[in-house]
Amino acid sequence: MTELLIRPTTAVPDATGLPQRPARARLLRFLVRRPGLVAAGVLVVLVLVAAFAPWVLAPGDPSVGVVAEKLRPPGPGHVFGTDYLGRDVWTRVVHGASLSLQATVIAVAVALVVGGLIGLVAGFVRGWVDDVLMRVVDVLLAIPAVLLSLALITALGYGTVKVAIAVGIASVASFARVMRAETLRVRQATYVEAAYAVGTRWWVTLWRHVLPNAAGPVLVLAVLEFGLAILAVSALSFLGYGAPPPAPEWGSLVAEGRNYLAVAWWLCALPGLTIAATVLSVNRISRALDGEWRRFR
């Protein structure tokens, strides 16, 4: 006699005896209750599309304009209006996303790698190595990030990549602090002590046990710092340290429009709103990853 296995379609009790909803239903309920998170995710996806495939959202040339259509307000033909040379502002904002996000990714990567290594070594080795590295981190924390970035740009020179490196170095201290704290916590765990007891080499313990279990909060911090890095890169681009014109970086677009605030408010307002919306969306996603997603899981 053949036994029929009937797959339950309702809630299945877990080990505690309480009914547990399927993962798809729980995910749907999680998203329905958080429309702000859904909107933030959609906006971040659009920004990523603009960064990697700008022709999908804006097929035009960002550096070509029609002089007869200069300073047109936002409307059906030009969603974000036109600038003083008749160039479409929407096209320039979309194509500028690749430059701004390229600098942001480099900045976060520099901060994550350098700061993570400093915090990992300081928390794992301890002793005088920890003291020396943390004093260097304290010096970095004592200097305002903007001033440190400006000093580094003065030494490195102008350009998008150099701005990104300067912003990344200015953010190293926060990553080093978080990684050190997590390394100290994981270092005292039972499985790390067991690895030492069975004779595991220290670099194997560091690579297999300490680093994977200490990297979670640091990666969440990287998502949060991504939004702050967008602000820092845009601020330095606004001051003229980024790519030279006519490169449509977000900060330089705001800087170009400040001379036309009286007659063309959209030249500053709409690129500025794009920067603000992107930063708020990234921060909302990082907050969800830090607390809400853990409770969902």
pLDDT tens digits, residue range 171-214? 999 999 999 998 888 888 777 778 777 777 877 777 877 888 88
d(CA 59, CA 91): 8
Pairwise CA distance, residues 105 & 165, whole Å:
10
Query: In the predicted model, what is the mean pLDDT of residues 15-29?
Result: 60
Tell me what pLDDT residue 204 has: 78
Could you read off the pLDDT of 240-287 as tens digits, one per residue? 888 887 888 899 999 988 888 888 899 999 999 999 999 999 888 887
Q: For 143-157, what is the mean pLDDT?
A: 87
Q: Domains in the chain, ordered, with CATH?
A: 35-296 (1.10.3720.10)
Helix axes 35-52, 89-125, angle to 10 degrees: 100
Is the pLDDT at 33 greater than 90, yes or no? no
Contact status, residue 115 vs residue 175, Cβ threshold 8 Å: yes
Per-position DSSP letters for 118-134, written without gaps between them: HHHHHHHH-HHHHHHHH
Q: Return the CA Rg of the chain.
A: 24
Does a cis peptide bond (omega within 30 degrees of 0) precede residue 62?
no
